[in-house]
Structure 1
Amino acid sequence: MGGTLLELTIATPLDMVVNHAAARSLRAEDASGSFGIRPGHADFITMLAPSVVRWVAPDGARRFCAVDGGVMTVTGGCVVAIACREAIAGDALEWLEREVARVRAAQLDAERRVRVESVRLHAQAVRQMLRYLRGPIVPDGQDIPVAQERGQ
């Protein structure tokens, strides 16, 4: 039903973050809480919560990957695949925490810039509509419709 190691793959739409890494065991988290996977695990599928996936490499080293939710499948008792929108892999939790904070700050800054630009474009559109609705302005400052000015 399964080998002695897990084969782990973590992918985002733009990158293969972890590509067929060997693991002795894995810990992940879904809506029901934290759970573990070992070789020979029953096949299943679950929706991961935004969390840190942890696994132990064959040499005993601990590896980590922060995921922004995603879908995890276990097939054949040894193949673990995670598909998520964003993932950051690292060998140390401290580094991973700093990197996630840096990426999140960059995302918040980009969202702020988008909101500012959206408000600027909206204000520009409103000003343009007001100019159009006001019509032409006579040099002495009186607004006279063009038809009356021509005597029509």
Structure 2
Amino acid sequence: MVASSMSLRIQVPFKIVVQRDDVLRIVADTDDGAFGLLPNRRDCVAALAPGILLYQTATDGEVCLAVNEGVLVKTGNCVRVSVRNAIEGRDLDQLRAAVEREFRELDEQERTLRSVLAKLESGFIRRYARLLHD
């Protein structure tokens, strides 16, 4: 039987980002370059590189996602993508702005984390030094 669409699920560790049953085509990036998936393509597994994943539906047209590295598995008409992070956008300009916002937030979280770790380390060193002198 010839299928006309695919089921697509894109997930990150803490949630499902995309769950669609009407996907016409998918384009993803690997370290060896981009490749496309159509409904009747053979089953495959691919290690995804950070980049843009694109899928198309009849109702929404092309949808872009910025994805971090991960894995794509196609079995039959089901495509499952598991990545560390994914940000959805309707066009590349909107997606670029969303990615920049996300990076700024991550940078701020990393600065806060580094500050907390530095305080923990200095407290540990002070207590250890005190323990050695007592």
So what's the TM-score if we normalise by structure 2?
A: 0.89
In the aligned structure 2, how far is the partner of 1:111 from the partner of 1:2?
49
Deviation at 1:85, TM superposition (A): 1.7
Deviation at 1:21, TM superposition (A): 4.1
Q: Which residue of 1 aligns with 2:66?
A: 66
Deviations 1:45-75 (A, max 9, x none): 0110111111121136110111111110111
In the aligned structure 2, how far is the partner of 1:24 from the partner of 1:133?
68
User: Which consecutive aligned stretches of 4+ in structure 1 deviate over 4 angstroms post-superposition?
Assistant: none
Q: Which residue of 2 aligns with 1:75?
A: 75
Aligned length: 134
Q: Which runs of 5+ in 2 are unaligned?
A: none
In the aligned structure 1, how far is the partner of 2:96 from the partner of 2:124?
42
Answering whether residue 24 of structure 2 is matched by residue 24 of structure 1, we say: yes
In the aligned structure 2, how far is the partner of 1:63 from the partner of 1:27?
10
Answering whether residue 55 of structure 2 is matched by residue 55 of structure 1, we say: yes
Give the superposed CA RMSD. 1.7
In the aligned structure 2, how far is the partner of 1:15 from the partner of 1:75?
21
Select the structure that is richer in strand. Answer: 2
Structure showing greater radius of gyration is 1
Deviation at 1:120, TM superposition (A): 1.5
Identity among equivalent positions (%) equals 28
SS at match of 2:87: strand
Contact 2:68 2:84 in 1 (8 A): yes
**Partner amino acid for 2:118?**
V
In the aligned structure 2, how far is the partner of 1:89 from the partner of 1:72?
17
Q: Which runs of 5+ in 1 are unaligned?
A: 136-152
**Partner amino acid for 2:123?**
Q
SS at match of 1:104: helix
In the aligned structure 2, how far is the partner of 1:97 from the partner of 1:22?
26
SS at match of 2:40: coil
In the aligned structure 1, how far is the partner of 2:64 from the partner of 2:80?
15
Answering whether residue 105 of structure 2 is matched by residue 106 of structure 1, we say: yes
